[in-house]
Structure 1
Amino acid sequence: MSEEQTVSLVDVLEEDEELEEEASAVLAGSDSDHCSYPQGYVKRQALYACNTCTPKGGEAAGICLACSYKCHEGHDLFELYTKRNFRCDCGNRKFSELQCKLYPDKDDANSQNKYNHNFFGMYCTCSRPYPDPDDQEEDEMIQCVVCEDWLHGRHLSRAVPECVEMQEMICESCMSKNKFLWTYAAHLAVPGSSEQTKEEPGEESAADVPKKVEKVDGVTECPGKRRREEAELSCRLKELQDIGQKTVQSGAVFWPPSWRSKLCSCTSCQAQLSEAGLSFLLDESDTVLAYENKGKSSEQSQQGHDPLMSALDNLNRVQQLEIIHGYNDMKTELKNFLQTFATEGKVVTSEDIRGFFEEQSRKRRRVDAGPFYCS
């Protein structure tokens, strides 16, 4: 007889808290009250697609967080997580029967926006919806930092490394379109993310070369110093190519934190990245992790201006301490109260909660009544 899997109330509360943190990380970085259109092509923001207004077969369109709330309430929406350099489409010519309530004066289209099948609720190389009702296999989805499509871990042709949430991934298709990235992958990719091979031994190292002192224009100069100065002006990508270490050019590639700072930013490489539409790879603040951290900071800042805290500011020190102690006591008692249900595996009913607060109210009345003295 197999044991039935049980989930305690503490597990539920912890999972709920994790979901709230994830939502804060994504949504707090975007404005929930004002359409983002006036900001132009926003560096990164939470986006949605409306299946009700722009279904498959029509033109792809994306809407900002505020418009998803104010203009598309009750519609069938696809959550796109975040995308870069996007301007809100809500109410433009792609929406034949809907006008944006927040910012109706918009151009017919946003020519710099980039769209993929995510805007019609399809994801990965398998072009399936998420969540997929026909997929019985548990699998995480990972976003490519270049095309920004979401792919199943099992469809990456590469084992997903540990701590993947701290790493960026470029899918095999994007790597193949930008072959110079394979050179970086051979040196910078997460260990095990790409199989590396060594070509013929390179030139002798600087340590094996006898040190010489040369005179340039009558001035004694160390050639080692000159080589370092020349290296600073050279192309880092070319240097990596000359080393001769290569990688098997197949499968997705995972990159460690701060890998972008190790990319070459010489004039030639900047031009190459720009032509490929990859200039954002030189910007470490472009990452989803940087955006999420910004969202968390914004959420914490807003919590710092909580109305309850503002009300406390208007009370004297004694009153503040009384309220804070009372709140902490109630929070502790509520936690202990719920813990007993979790420990015993009991279900918490509305009557249980009502009884708890009625008991708290009775305790409060006894305290407020003060001491009783006999005359």
Structure 2
Amino acid sequence: MSSNPPPPTSKQVQSAPADAPADAPATESTTARRESISQRSENSQTAADFIRDQMQLEADAREALPYSIENCTKPLGSLRQNVFACLTCNPPPHSPAGVCYSCSVQCHGEHELVEIFQKRNFTCDCGTTRFTSDQPCTLRINSETNTKGGVHSEPADPNNKYNHNFRNRFCSCAIDYNPHEQKGTMFQCLGLGTHEDGGCGEDWYHPGCLMGLGPKWYESSKGNSKSNRNGDGSLPTITEDGLPPDNAAVADGEDEEEEDDAPLPDGFPSEDDFDHFICYKCVDANPWIKRYAGVPGFLPAVFFNKGDGASSPKKRQRDDEDNVGDEANEAKRLKSEQTEQGPLVSSTPQDNTPGAEVAGNLKEESKIETEEELTREIACKLDSLPSASPGQFSLFVRDNFRDQFCRCSKCFPKLLPHPQLLEEEEAYEPPLTDEASEHASTHASGSIYERGESALRNVDRVRAIEGVMAYNHMKEKLKPFFEQFAGSGKAISAEDVKEYFAKLRGDQEAIQEAGEAAKADNRHEQSGY
């Protein structure tokens, strides 16, 4: 081994002058170490910075989860609400279960969840027999202990309906939904039936699957459309030298951006043209609704399979409008003929006395009203509509579609099982977090800063005064410590804090041990090994 000293490293300290004290290198090493630690304390922050960062994190959390998570919705009964399926507690193909918004965070926050969005007539399953007893609901009151949490094995609502969404499968293609791979928009059906009776149970669909093309129909035609035509449908332009024009690079960049959003198939309505839709499964389960395709409030039928010989949507719309116009003209002609014939005259002999004349008039008016009521009941809107088109198709509707349904004595019973066809549904939403924290006085809500203030207000007065005095005493002790760093602009390291509190305790032995440890580290670094 060479006797020459190794070359200096970045951790070495230069030799002290000859007249320096013997412990000068150790002192300088300790100072250099402290400065090095201070310089590396990039994550050091003041109390104000910490509070500000915490409040920003809580604000971000409220934006992602804006509603209160304090109460389970099971006591409220059956609701239209946001539902989540827990694949950790109920992995396929086990019995499915759904939980409410609050339970998805408080009881299953660390589990693998599937957001199913809104489901009607659903009661939260958390803490019921659809979950094991070791996965209780932490939000409801336990009837045995009269305390919050620990609720399990309660009977589940037998009226809850489940489909394959609770297994993270959506659409008629039954694809496992992955939000990171999913492109384009999926649409939720109004749901005119459950999975058991032939409907879909408010399933979500890809536009291509509604037309029988599959979820990724656009991938097969993407290459052809790019190679043969420009984005506006025109043929590509070639310059005299055979090179593409200068704007070709810009068009390619736009194509890459558009790849994130899957296009809509030809014949599929634009998202701005409809408010809801009813899938072909639910239409088949309720064939009476087929005749409304193309009437005001309803878009022309969107067929599941274009190869079934069905006419194009535009042609069907023109035919339907012609049929409706002809039948409307016929109805006007009949009404005109009835008007020309004059009012109906009763053949019953009438008395000429004034009392008999009044009674006869009342009887005649009552008869006319009865006939008008019968006429209204008989006049079914479906009689003026064209016959239903053959084949499977989905219905896309506008916001006024409910006003178009016939409500005669024959048709109204068909609407009763589907309240969503009679009026707009109201979905339950928990109160917003901000509103809950403003009116809450418990430690269970509000930000960390607000909880601290609330706890301080609830402290006994004597203890509060003692705490304030202790705080002031500590502040006076720490003030000189902070001032020395404030003057130099250096960050405070963990070693600085430990050393200062050791001095406050009078722990001189600990200080000496720390100094000796620093000397040992310094000698080890200078050895070069």
TM-score, structure 2 as length reference: 0.44
- Write the deviation string for residues 214-269 of structure 1: whole angstroms up to 9, x where unpaired: 22466588x9988764454346xx32234435445432211100312332344543
Q: 1:304 to 1:99 in 2, by over 3 A?
A: closer
Q: Find the aligned partners of 1:39 and 1:155 in 2 and give their Cα distance.
A: 36
* Conserved 8 A contact 2:83-2:98: yes
- Write the deviation string for residues 46-77 of structure 1: whole angstroms up to 9, x where unpaired: 11000000011101110001111111011000
Shift of 1:125: 0.6
Q: Find the aligned partners of 1:182 and 1:100 in 2 and give their Cα distance.
A: 44
SS of 2:109's equivalent? Answer: coil
In structure 1, the partner of 2:210 is 156
**Is 1:178 matched up with 2:223?**
no
* Conserved 8 A contact 1:34-1:66: yes
* Conserved 8 A contact 1:270-1:279: no
In structure 1, the partner of 2:168 is 121
Higher strand share: 1
SS of 2:277's equivalent? Answer: strand
Q: Which amino acid aligns with 2:331?
A: S
Shift of 1:116: 0.5
Q: Which amino acid aligns with 2:278?
A: I
In structure 1, the partner of 2:70 is 33
In structure 1, the partner of 2:138 is 101
- Which one of the candidate residues 181, 187, 190 is aligned to 1:145? 190
Q: Find the aligned partners of 1:190 and 1:301 in 2 and give their Cα distance.
A: 40
Q: 1:112 to 1:206 in 2, by over 3 A?
A: same
TM-score, structure 1 as length reference: 0.61
Work out the percentage of aligned pairs sharing the same amino acid.
27
Q: How does 1:1-375 map to 2 (within 5 A)?
A: 28=67, 32-42=69-79, 44-96=80-132, 97-103=134-140, 104=151, 107-131=154-178, 138-146=183-191, 147-157=201-211, 159-163=268-272, 167-193=275-301, 195-196=316-317, 197-198=319-320, 202=327, 204-207=330-333, 209-210=336-337, 211=339, 212-216=342-346, 229-234=373-378, 238-244=380-386, 246-247=388-389, 249-274=391-416, 277-284=417-424, 286=425, 291=427, 302=435
- Write the deviation string for residues 272-324 of structure 1: whole angstroms up to 9, x where unpaired: 344xx42432132x1xxx54xx869x6599499699xxx9xxxxxxxxxxxxx
Q: 1:306 to 1:94 in 2, by over 3 A?
A: closer
Q: 1:265 to 1:41 in 2, by over 3 A?
A: farther
SS of 1:163's equivalent? Answer: helix
Q: 1:116 to 1:92 in 2, by over 3 A?
A: same
Q: Which amino acid aligns with 2:377?
A: L
- Write the deviation string for residues 131-182 of structure 1: whole angstroms up to 9, x where unpaired: 26666xx321000011210000111116032315x61110011101110111
- Any gaps of 5 or more consecutive residues in structure 2? 1-59, 141-150, 192-200, 212-266, 303-315, 349-359, 441-449, 451-529
Q: 1:299 to 1:227 in 2, by over 3 A?
A: farther
Q: Find the aligned partners of 2:368 and 2:293 in 1 and give their Cα distance.
A: 29
- Write the deviation string for residues 117-138 of structure 1: whole angstroms up to 9, x where unpaired: 0001000011112226666xx3
Larger radius of gyration: 2
Q: Find the aligned partners of 2:104 and 2:120 in 1 and give their Cα distance.
A: 18
Shift of 1:35: 0.6
SS of 2:270's equivalent? Answer: coil
RMSD (Å) for aligned C-alpha atoms: 3.9
* Conserved 8 A contact 1:153-1:160: no
SS of 2:399's equivalent? Answer: coil
Q: Find the aligned partners of 1:93 and 1:106 in 2 and give their Cα distance.
A: 5
